Amino acid sequence: MADEKKDVLRPTDEEAIRLARRLLRVSRYGALAVIEPETGAPSASRVATATDPDGSPLILVSTLSTHTGALAADPRCSLLLGEPGKGDPLAHPRITISCLAHRLDRESDDGKRARRRYLNRHPKAELYVDFGDFCFFRLDPQRAGLNGGFGKAYALTRRDLLVDHPSIGEIAAAEQGAISHMNSDHRDAVELFARHFARAGVGNWIMTGLDVDGFDLACGDDSRRVFFDEPLTGATAMRQALVSMARAARDSSQ
């Protein structure tokens, strides 16, 4: 009797979904694989990433780059996210996302939002973001393979990766005002968020993104994700959640 082939994939659970979404949000760089139009062969390059409010990856690329021409010819691509840490790099989580790339019109609402969110994550890109030969692509996830470490492999769907909630638009409209307010008037609370909820060290932490599912923090090259206990139902709920979390973090620190 032939040996049955062992299924290497684990059932996708809430922990796997949370890890996948965390990798999407905290990653600042990734490896983008495209299909060369001349040869049909795969080609990989490094890109800086941000995310749309629903979690879809965003990239800013030059039209002079090989991968930009490849995406224009064939929108199918893959994005590998997840930075190695200390020790064996294969022991650290990473995710490979199969996507369809869509070029964004700079003057559209989607294009303006992509620019804003990308610059919050990569402020130095303001030096070239408006050059005529640069453009934004949104990478629309289709499916993904998550490796959470040795023996922790999962297959995820688009629904697992992205946030689908009726208040996405309202929170996106209020996001920049909330981020600017927190970073200018409540930096002490932002650092408490990083230390208490993200288990980060002391540092000059700033808020770089906020959506219905949580918010993103950065200190230099270190990025962290903090999830809300439940998705936000609107701008009022956003303010209440931030105040409540700041109070909880202060109480814990004392």
Residue pair 90/150 in contact by the 8 Å Cβ criterion: yes
CB atoms within 10 A of CB 194: 25
Confidence grade of residue 87 (pLDDT, cut at 50, 70, 90):
confident
Q: CATH 2.30.110.10 occupies which residues in the chain?
A: 14-161
- Name the region of 35 (left: φ>0; alpha: ψ -120 to 50; beta: rest): beta
pLDDT in tens, 233-250: 999 999 999 999 999 999
Instruction: Identify the architecture of domain 14-161 in CATH.
Output: Roll (2.30)
Contacts of residue 92, Cβ cutoff 8 Å, sequence gap at least 6: 82, 83, 84, 85, 149
User: Which tokens in the block code for residue 96?
Assistant: 């490979």
Give the mean pLDDT of 104-123: 97
Residues 6+ apart with CB under 8 A from 200: 194, 217, 219, 222, 224
pLDDT tens sequence across 117-148: 999 999 999 999 999 999 999 999 999 999 98
Instruction: Identify the DSSP state of 9.
Output: B
Name the CATH topology of 168-253: Split barrel-like (3.20.180)
Least confident of 1-10, 12-21, 87-96, 113-122: 1-10
CATH 3.20.180.10 segments of the chain: 168-253
pLDDT digits (tens, 9 = 90+) for 173-207: 999 999 999 999 999 999 999 999 999 999 999 99
Instruction: Return the H-helix or E-strand segment holding 26.
Output: helix 14-26
CB 117 within 8 A of CB 52: yes
Say what percent of the chain tops pLDDT 70.
98
Residue range 212-218: mean pLDDT, rounded: 98
Report how far residue 241's alpha carbon sits from residue 233's, in angstroms, rounded to the nearest whole number.
Answer: 11
